[in-house]
């Protein structure tokens, strides 16, 4: 069996499963953000007309993180957040991360950072980028609010079809200023936005072995941009290192790995040795081009952050490029660390100071401009270059603007020049 | 018979169907007003109730990709549209089934705005062109949710059954 098949078999109490089987796995972790407000409505709806009291099946397995609109941009959002806050209190949800500088941040950063994600777990989230958590060897996928309400009531996901798996084997050493973001953009471009629809992308190969968990999170985060149900890197020594050293997990770790004779739908091999920085051009994530095709394009706003690229190593590479330089006049640079913890680490390392000296605005941790709800909207006809994961029309708050996606290195180099710039320069 | 009232291309994301900036709006009574909010002409028609329930919105491949936001389904359900598409993105399809939005996967469909479609259990017939296209039926397990009237009644039933067995 593949890693995901093994996880599903065990969670469903079956000796084995095969592609296409419909199973009801027990859920190890159920995550929501502000959309918990909608989940609560649907949850209460389930109990209507019964004489049962609405009760989460296991409050210790539920996580709620405020990140999409923090601090609240409107009275409506604030009232939704208030309602969720009261609900988690009544239901005794302890994995609740409010709008705070100590424990707050983007949901997909908070989960791994706090050791909530474990290899072999079944994780569902009311957010499509829940695929991120496959980076630690879990089977993690996005669901809608009504389905989450059902999970809260029953503790199982009632309708999971065992997905086929595509094995992605990655070899070669990245060139300087090229990394996980360029790899996943390249792969999404190759597969197209629907190439992995209903499937799992399982990552293997020497390049993945050497990748840290932060980079693996970037990869699995964007697996959904190829339509994948989940991305997964089967747990290894790096996973163990991350869980012990960075997430403070003491309990034994369960390494679930694919069998030698696991059946894959397809095997894709990628050699990254010659890969150059990649850019996803408007208005689809699979419209990917090597940077040379768009070098020189004027950008009005550069964004570094999000669950894709808002971690400490992302900020480190940007700070290195920006240090002592200035953000180009006529270009705004917005940086939003993925969590309060990342923010505090970046402060301690001097990155925040370097960014501000350069003229960038460092914002509070959260989703920020990524989905164009309250901060950092674009003006008509403006162009953004962003390390986030989606460039759909209107994504950054304005349908009459464009978003290009790139790595933190490309974003930093371009903020200085005001045009899309290859950080490798002309010499590499 | 169902009339095709609107046709969109491939990879229509939930950001297009229901822009992210309206995510604080969650009530199924309010989301339909914001369906295709950035597509002023179509949104206006929907809001003015110029589109009769049971009309077809024709999608290409990967309809509903992107964010898991359920408003992208509830806003269409509010107008009782039928979505016929070449393929659907996974979360959108599941959300549609859970909320009872009628979705039809028809990989080779050819139709234009104004065409009349007849949808049977196995095929979509375009009465205007006379051509017939097979459709991909849903797995049995999903049919069970539809038959129950959506995931909420389905889960309610399961809860009550569970409550009974533990008594
Ligand atoms: S940072 Fe962007 S992609 Fe990530 S969870 Fe927030 S809105 Fe979604």
Helix (H, G, I), strand (E, B) or coil at B162: helix
- Chain-centroid distance, C-alpha B12: 13
What CA–CA distance (Å, rounded) separates B56 from A340?
Answer: 47
How buried is residue A295: exposed, middle or buried, by Cβ count under 10 Å (0-12/13-18/19+)? middle
Dihedral in degrees, nearest 10, Cα atoms A311, A317, A318, A324: 140
Which among A129, A188, A137, A186 has a CA at the least distance from the CA of A308?
A129
Check pLDDT > 90 for residue A427. no
Helix (H, G, I), strand (E, B) or coil at A28: coil
Residue A318, pLDDT score: 98
How buried is residue A103: exposed, middle or buried, by Cβ count under 10 Å (0-12/13-18/19+)? middle
* A31 ligand 1 Cβ < 6 A: no
pTM of the full structure: 0.96
Minimum CA distance residue for ligand 1 atom 6: A367
Which CATH architecture group holds A3-270? 2-Layer Sandwich (3.30)
Contact between A360 and A415 (Cβ < 8 Å) = yes
Tell me which of A265-269, B26-30, B159-163 is least confident: B159-163
- C-alpha torsion sign, points B40, B43, B48, B50: positive
Q: Does residue B69 form part of some domain?
A: yes
Contact between A301 and A316 (Cβ < 8 Å) = no
Q: Does residue B127 form part of some domain?
A: yes
ipTM above 0.90, yes or no: yes
Q: Does residue B148 form part of some domain?
A: no
* A224 ligand 1 Cβ < 6 A: no
CATH code at B14? 3.20.19.10
Percent of chain A scoring above 90 in pLDDT: 96
**Which residues on A lie below 8 Å from B24 (Cβ)?**
34, 69, 74, 76-77, 80
Number of domains composing chain B: 1
Nearest CA-CA distance, residue B73 and chain A, Å = 10
For A226, the token pair is: 């190829």
Pick from A49, A146, A229: which is nearest to B70 by CB?
Answer: A146
Look up tokens 């964007």; give the residue: A222
Q: Is A397 on the interface with B (CB under 8 A)?
A: yes
Helix spans in A254-370 (H): 306-309, 312-322, 340-348, 351-358
Helix (H, G, I), strand (E, B) or coil at A73: coil
Residue A221, pLDDT score: 98
Which among A155, A154, A153, A156 has a CA at the least distance from the CA of A45?
A153
Contact between B131 and B106 (Cβ < 8 Å) = no
Which among B113, B109, B116 has a CA at the least distance from the CA of B88?
B109
Helix (H, G, I), strand (E, B) or coil at B78: coil
At the top level of CATH, the class of A277-417 is: alpha beta
What CA–CA distance (Å, rounded) separates A33 from B16?
Answer: 21
Check pLDDT > 50 for residue B88. yes
- pLDDT per position as a tens digit, A47-60: 999 999 999 999 99
Residues of chain A with CATH 3.30.499.10: 3-270, 277-417
What CA–CA distance (Å, rounded) separates A108 from A29?
Answer: 13
Helix (H, G, I), strand (E, B) or coil at A267: strand
Residue A428, pLDDT score: 37
- pLDDT per position as a tens digit, A131-170: 999 999 999 999 999 999 999 999 999 989 999 999 999 9
**Which residues on B lie below 8 Å from A153 (Cβ)?**
155, 159
* CA atoms within 13 Å, Cβ hemisphere of A8: 29
Q: Does residue B145 form part of some domain?
A: no
Other C-beta atoms within 10 Å of B50: how many? 10
Average pLDDT over residues B155-162: 93
Binary contact (B15, A393; C-beta < 8 A)? yes
**Which residues on B lie below 8 Å from A372 (Cβ)?**
19-21
Q: Does residue B149 form part of some domain?
A: no
What CA–CA distance (Å, rounded) separates A5 from A18?
Answer: 7
Contact between A16 and A9 (Cβ < 8 Å) = yes
- pLDDT per position as a tens digit, A186-229: 999 999 999 999 999 999 999 999 999 999 999 999 999 999 99
Domain that holds residue B10: 2-138
């Amino acid at each position: 069996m593949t890693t995901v098949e093994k996880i599903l078999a065990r969670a469903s109490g079956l000796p084995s499963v095969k592609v296409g089987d419909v199973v009801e796995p027990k859920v190890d972790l159920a995550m929501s953000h502000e959309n918990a407000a909608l989940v609560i409505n649907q949850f209460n709806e389930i109990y209507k007309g019964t004489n049962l009291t609405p009760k989460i099946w296991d409050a210790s397995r539920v996580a709620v993180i405020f990140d999409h609109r923090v601090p609240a941009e409107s009275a409506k959002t604030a009232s939704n957040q208030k309602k969720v806050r009261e609900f988690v209190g009544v239901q005794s949800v302890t994995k609740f991360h409010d709008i705070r500088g100590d424990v707050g941040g983007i949901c997909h950063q908070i989960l791994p950072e706090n050791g909530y994600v474990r290899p072999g777990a079944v994780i569902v989230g009311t957010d499509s980028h829940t695929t991120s958590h496959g980076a630690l060897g879990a089977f993690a996928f996005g669901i809608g609010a009504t389905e989450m309400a059902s999970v809260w009531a029953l503790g199982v996901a009632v309708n999971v079809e065992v997905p086929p798996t595509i094995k992605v084997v990655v070899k070669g050493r990245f060139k300087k200023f090229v990394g996980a973001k360029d790899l996943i953009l390249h792969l999404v471009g190759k597969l197209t936005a629907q190439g992995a629809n209903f499937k799992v992308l399982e990552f293997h190969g020497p390049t993945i072995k050497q990748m840290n968990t932060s980079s693996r999170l970037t990869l699995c985060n964007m697996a959904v941009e190829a339509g994948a149900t989940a991305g997964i890197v089967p747990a290894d020594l790096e996973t163990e290192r991350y869980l012990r050293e960075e997430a403070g997990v003491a309990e034994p770790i369960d390494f679930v790995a694919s069998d030698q004779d696991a059946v894959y739908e397809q095997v894709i091999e990628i050699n990254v040795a010659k890969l150059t920085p990649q850019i996803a051009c408007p208005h689809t994530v699979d419209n990917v081009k090597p940077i040379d095709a768009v070098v020189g394009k004027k950008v009005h706003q550069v964004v570094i952050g999000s669950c894709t690229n808002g971690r400490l190593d992302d900020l480190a590479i940007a700070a290195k490029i920006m240090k002592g330089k200035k953000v180009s006049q006529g270009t705004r640079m917005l940086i939003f660390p993925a969590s309060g913890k990342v923010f505090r680490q970046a402060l301690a390392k001097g990155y925040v100071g370097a960014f501000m000296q350069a003229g960038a605005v460092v914002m509070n941790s959260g989703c920020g401009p990524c989905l164009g709800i309250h901060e950092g909207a674009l003006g008509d006809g403006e162009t953004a270059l962003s390390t986030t994961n989606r460039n759909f029309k209107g994504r950054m708050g304005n349908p009459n603007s464009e978003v290009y996606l790139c790595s933190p290195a490309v974003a930093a180099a371009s903020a200085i020049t005001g045009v899309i710039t290859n950080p490798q320069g002309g010499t590499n | 018979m169902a009339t095709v009232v609107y046709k969109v291309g491939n990879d229509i994301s939930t950001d297009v169907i229901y822009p992210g900036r309206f995510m604080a709006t969650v009530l199924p009574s309010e989301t339909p007003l914001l369906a295709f909010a950035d597509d002023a002409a179509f949104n206006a028609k929907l809001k003015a109730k110029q589109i009769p329930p049971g009309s077809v919105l024709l999608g290409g491949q990967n309809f509903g990709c992107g964010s898991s936001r359920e408003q992208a389904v509830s806003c269409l359900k509010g107008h009782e549209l039928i979505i016929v598409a070449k393929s659907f993105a996974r979360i959108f399809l599941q959300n549609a089934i859970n909320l009872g939005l009628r979705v039809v996967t028809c990989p080779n469909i050819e139709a234009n705005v104004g065409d009349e479609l007849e949808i049977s259990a196995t095929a979509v017939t375009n009465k205007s062109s006379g051509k017939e296209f097979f459709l991909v039926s849903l797995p049995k397990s999903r049919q069970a949710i539809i038959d129950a009237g959506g995931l909420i009644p389905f889960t309610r039933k399961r809860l009550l059954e569970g409550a009974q067995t533990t008594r």
